[in-house]
């Protein structure tokens, strides 16, 4: 029974058993998560969620990051999970197509604050949650991802496991938590048609629902025992192709958190390979005014989700590979300011985006999602053709961002809400997280 195997792994995982690489990976993930939460907390979707939370009230046990307020652990998980996903700078695990930090760390951190857990306990919970969420997402394959936002669905399981570790549930309680987490796991891609705020809600609700499932389990509230593989369970209900064995293969010896990727650009990860190539050609002297036509060859999900030129809202532009390529070529970078559409779009960005075609390459598709690759072909007005290819966008383990880049990313995001001294203290705190007695000291 998969739930029991996951539950036994969760209860048996001990900080002292973790390899140092997994500990460091967890600390990196927590730091990256915190930067995205802090910066996202001031954005309109986050402010709307916080208004609802304030109206509802809650026992102040966990921090709503980016404010001086506390609420219940459930509401803190909701607020922080929502904030983390707004600016499109949170992490991504490639083979699972999952943004694990937003749902999983949001639940783990809220639970850790509530329970006055130590830094090492938080790290262990995050590793456990990443294992569950990522492995379940790998099991349901890309067939699940066509309709279902993996971060919302599989993230709920990961959030439940992480919180269950903090709460020190026993095996049977973890099974109940997984059962009730699975029945709450939802999140559809239809929001893309409208550029709706729904996407931001997905990880917030996944964090909240996973934590709720754990709190219920602690009280003896039972859940389905075979929620994953059951006849009317998660696999059969949400995927046309699935491989249950992927949940447990190497469990306890191969740590999925080591395969995590980190974003350099504030846009959908499916745009990043193309942006890398655009910036590469620009750095080699390409004049964007000389471009006649751009062709990007990539995998089907990228074609489907980001293959159209859109510039009517910042959010839609973040999900438009042609816009991102145009902005990167013209500006020589792609950052948060690139999506400031309060004024007219630069005509050259518009031209490059409109002349950019994104098409399926079957060879690249055959290697997805193990590689999020792209091939770039640029036809210049004088007939010259420039080509470039990448298998791994910047921030992937095979093409990693440096420690300094990730620290700078955190600082740039945190500056939106915190003074420099608090940013310095926070980084120092996170670097020695495994030695911290109580996680809630960070915001006290």
Q: Indicate whether 374 and 412 sit together in one domain.
A: no
pLDDT value of position 194: 87
Q: Indicate whether 25 and 119 sit together in one domain.
A: yes
pLDDT value of position 397: 97
Q: Indicate whether 280 and 153 sit together in one domain.
A: no
Q: Is 221 buried (19+), middle (13-18) or exposed (0-12) by CB count in 10 A?
A: middle
List the domain range (segments joined by +) for residue 318. Answer: 269-390
Residue 344 DSSP class: P
Q: Indicate whether 129 and 231 sit together in one domain.
A: yes
User: CA 42, CA 66: separation in Å to the nearest integer?
Assistant: 7
Q: Which helix (H) or strand (E) holds 17?
A: none
pLDDT value of position 392: 97
Q: Indicate whether 212 and 317 sit together in one domain.
A: no
Q: Is 21 buried (19+), middle (13-18) or exposed (0-12) by CB count in 10 A?
A: exposed
Domain for residue 153, yes or no? yes
User: CA 280, CA 284: separation in Å to the nearest integer?
Assistant: 6
CATH number at residue 411: 1.10.4100.10
Residue 345 DSSP class: P
Domain for residue 82, yes or no? yes
Which tens digits make up the pLDDT trace of 59-81?
999 999 999 899 999 999 999 99
Query: What DSSP string runs through 355-385?
Result: TEEEEE-HHHHHTTTT---EEEEEEETTS-E
Domain for residue 243, yes or no? yes
Q: Indicate whether 31 and 128 sit together in one domain.
A: yes
The parts of the chain modelled with pLDDT lower than 50 are none
Q: What is the pTM of this model?
A: 0.96
Structural domains counted in the chain: 2
Domain for residue 396, yes or no? no
Domain for residue 395, yes or no? no
pLDDT value of position 65: 97
pLDDT value of position 192: 87
Domain for residue 177, yes or no? yes
Q: Indicate whether 50 and 127 sit together in one domain.
A: yes
Q: Indicate whether 258 and 296 sit together in one domain.
A: no
- Is 34 in contact with 126 (CB distance < 8 Å)? no
Domain for residue 383, yes or no? yes
CATH number at residue 328: 3.30.1330.120
Which tens digits make up the pLDDT trace of 345-362?
999 999 999 999 999 999
User: CA 324, CA 350: separation in Å to the nearest integer?
Assistant: 10
Domain termination residue (choose one: 390, 414, 430)? 390
Q: Indicate whether 206 and 322 sit together in one domain.
A: no
């Amino acid at each position: 029974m998969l739930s029991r195997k996951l539950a036994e792994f969760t209860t048996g995982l001990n900080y002292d058993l973790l390899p140092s690489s997994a500990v460091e990976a967890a600390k990196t993930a927590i730091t990256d998560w915190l930067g995205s939460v802090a910066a996202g907390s001031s954005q309109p979707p986050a402010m709307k969620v916080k208004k609802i939370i304030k109206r509802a009230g809650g026992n102040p046990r966990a921090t709503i990051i980016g404010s001086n307020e506390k609420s219940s652990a459930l509401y803190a998980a909701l607020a922080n999970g929502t904030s983390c996903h707004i600016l499109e700078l949170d992490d991504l695990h490639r083979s699972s197509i999952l943004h694990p930090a937003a749902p999983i760390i949001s639940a783990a951190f809220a639970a850790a604050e509530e329970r006055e857990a130590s830094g090492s306990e938080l790290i262990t919970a995050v590793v456990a949650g990443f294992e569950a969420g990522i492995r379940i997402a790998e099991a349901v394959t890309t067939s699940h991802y066509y309709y279902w936002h993996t971060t919302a669905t599989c993230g709920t399981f990961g959030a439940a496991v992480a919180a269950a570790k903090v709460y020190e549930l026993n095996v049977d309680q973890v099974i109940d938590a997984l059962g009730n987490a699975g029945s709450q796991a939802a999140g559809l891609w239809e929001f893309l048609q409208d550029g709706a705020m729904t996407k931001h809600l997905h990880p917030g609700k996944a964090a909240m629902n996973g934590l709720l499932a754990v709190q219920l389990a602690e009280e003896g509230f039972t859940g389905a025992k075979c929620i994953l593989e059951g006849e009317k369970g998660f696999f059969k209900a949400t995927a046309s192709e699935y491989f249950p064995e992927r949940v447990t293969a190497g469990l306890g010896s191969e740590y999925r958190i080591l395969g995590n990727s980190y974003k350099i650009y504030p846009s959908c990860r499916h745009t990043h390979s193309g942006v890398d190539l655009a910036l590469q050609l620009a750095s080699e002297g390409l004049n964007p005014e000389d471009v006649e036509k751009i062709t990007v060859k990539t995998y089907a999900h990228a074609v489907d989700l980001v293959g159209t030129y859109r510039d009517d809202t910042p959010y839609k532009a973040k999900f438009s590979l042609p816009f991102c390529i145009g902005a990167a070529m013209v500006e020589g970078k792609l950052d948060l300011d690139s999506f400031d559409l309060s004024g007219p779009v630069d005509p050259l960005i518009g031209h490059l985006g409109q002349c950019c075609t994104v098409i399926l390459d079957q060879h690249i598709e055959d290697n997805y999602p193990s590689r999020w690759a792209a091939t770039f072909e640029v036809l210049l007005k004088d007939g010259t053709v420039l080509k470039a290819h990448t298998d791994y966008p910047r921030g992937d383990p095979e093409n990693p961002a440096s420690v300094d880049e990730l620290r700078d990313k955190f600082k740039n995001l945190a500056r939106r809400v915190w003074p420099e001294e608090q940013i310095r203290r926070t980084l120092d705190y996170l670097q020695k997280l495994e030695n911290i007695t109580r996680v809630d000291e960070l915001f006290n």
